[in-house]
Structure 1
């Protein structure tokens, strides 16, 4: 199997963006987005994830890159869906202690799209004991703290305390890695690096731990056909101060590219959970039907994000602060370990 080069990885990202653009209507907020019984996971969550991916890709690509143009266009679409921020204010009034509106809003704020009245209302709520004492999973707590800062809210709770309560922050035995731990660790790294912008945000002990164990975890996920988690791990890999060697990334991308549909959609999971074996049979048996929107939108977003982040690393281009910290480690060969840990 020939490893993919930078151009082919970029093409995976371009195909993913083509699918996302063609399906932008599926990300639109419906009439139930503000109702008490609305399904957040089917309304705000997809839109927020679209916004986060597009804001990140726009930050990691030069303006001349078509991915940058497409990401900017979709980010504008997502912002318009929120009424240019007005719907966040309405959510604040109806669900003052829900954190998801602030988490999603902070994505737009990080891209310079702001709604001052919503920020003022959110800041008032954030000063209450009720907000501070809301019980949350440690990874979510870390994300909320980052969302507050993105939105101009400052309070004394420290990130380091939340970080060390997460799975990754505790440096667990590597063989305890499984699916839920994988998603938790990727989001911890997303929060620490501001979604890949500042690799130096990963503490030295976590960076060393991930440099050692991320390659086998990535291999294990791809062997299991976990394309969605595999792409998240690829984002992490290209966001670290000490990324894996180029061959590790390129071979992983070969497997992702084979799993991608011609339309650009990437399924969350290989249909029969045999991973590569299934992908290798597509040419002979014909591709499986494209999964429905909710079954592939997130993995397709992650493919687009991971492609942009990987190309940025492999080409050595610096579009954000922190690239110098990463460059200091580039060129040192990293040991590669396989066969450790089995996703659950």
Structure 2
């Protein structure tokens, strides 16, 4: 098994970005994204995940880092696919009470890419009782609250209360960890830390619980071939207040590197043949995200170092 250091982890991220750049056309929106029975998971979800990963990578790595350039280029592409925000206005008319348009839009807003017309329409909807009372799982509720704040919609912060209604916030018995709770806990940490930018957002008791059990859960996921969830857990490990111990995570990183195809694609579950786009784009994005977040924490890059990665480098 290859020893994994900073260079090897960077190689995983660089290969993932090479695949993402080569397959950017597969992230493009078409009219399927606006049909009444359109498959959101095959249209807006991939584009939103591309934007979120690229925005996160840009804020985690210095502008001089080649991975920063790849991320900026793909973020520009994603923004152009939305008609520079105009297509969110169209979605608002089609599905005024759907939350996914705001969740995707908020990623661009965090990068300084904004559409005032959509924000005004979304803010009007958000003032209705129908919007505020929509029933949501606690993890999704955390995400919607963060999306509102990013998009200029402000209301009393209930994140702390919502956190304690999530699986992770309740500090459950560690042996109850399974696939669904795994995906939920990673996204809770993503929301608490602004996708890794603010490790202090994880409460002390939750951080200690995760630091203790993440290595075991990582091994469990990788033993089961769940590569995408393994990458998400590596992001979580690198998003905790105390930086990760590389020695502890060299094994999981080596397994991710070993499963990555020569093209840079990482299948959702271990597979000898590279699968279709929809079955590897998410895992590949998470590999790129995990590499950038891990590199940031291992090399000690600070927010001051990444300040130039803010909005001014993206519009176009």
TM-score in same-fold range (> 0.5) = yes
What's the counterpart of residue 290 of structure 2? 306
Cα deviation for residue 320 of structure 1 reads: 6.0
Cα deviation for residue 242 of structure 1 reads: 2.1
**Secondary structure of 1:63's match?**
coil
The 5-angstrom pairing of residues 178-257 of structure 1 reads 178-257=178-257
**Secondary structure of 1:239's match?**
coil
Inter-partner Cα distance in structure 2 for 1:174 and 1:184: 14
Inter-partner Cα distance in structure 1 for 2:58 and 2:217: 28
C-alpha contact (below 8 Å) 2:244/2:297 kept by paired residues = no
Per-residue CA shift, 1:232-284, capped at 9, x if unaligned?
0000000101244211222211110000000000011124xxxxxxxxxxxxx
Extract unaligned runs of 5+ from structure 1: 272-287, 323-344
Cα deviation for residue 220 of structure 1 reads: 1.2
Q: Does 1:32 align with 2:16?
A: no
Q: Does 1:19 align with 2:19?
A: yes
What's the counterpart of residue 51 of structure 1? 51
What's the counterpart of residue 279 of structure 2? 295
TM-score (norm 1): 0.87
Cα deviation for residue 321 of structure 1 reads: 9.7
C-alpha contact (below 8 Å) 1:197/1:320 kept by paired residues = no
Per-residue CA shift, 1:32-63, capped at 9, x if unaligned?
11121211000000000000000000111111
Cα deviation for residue 141 of structure 1 reads: 0.4
C-alpha contact (below 8 Å) 1:260/1:266 kept by paired residues = yes
Inter-partner Cα distance in structure 1 for 2:245 and 2:294: 12
Q: Does 1:138 align with 2:138?
A: yes
Extract unaligned runs of 5+ from structure 2: 307-316
The 5-angstrom pairing of residues 1-344 of structure 1 reads 1-271=1-271, 288-319=272-303
| Structure 1 runs of 4+ with >4 Å offset | none
Inter-partner Cα distance in structure 1 for 2:159 and 2:120: 23
Aligned residues: 306
Inter-partner Cα distance in structure 2 for 1:222 and 1:33: 33
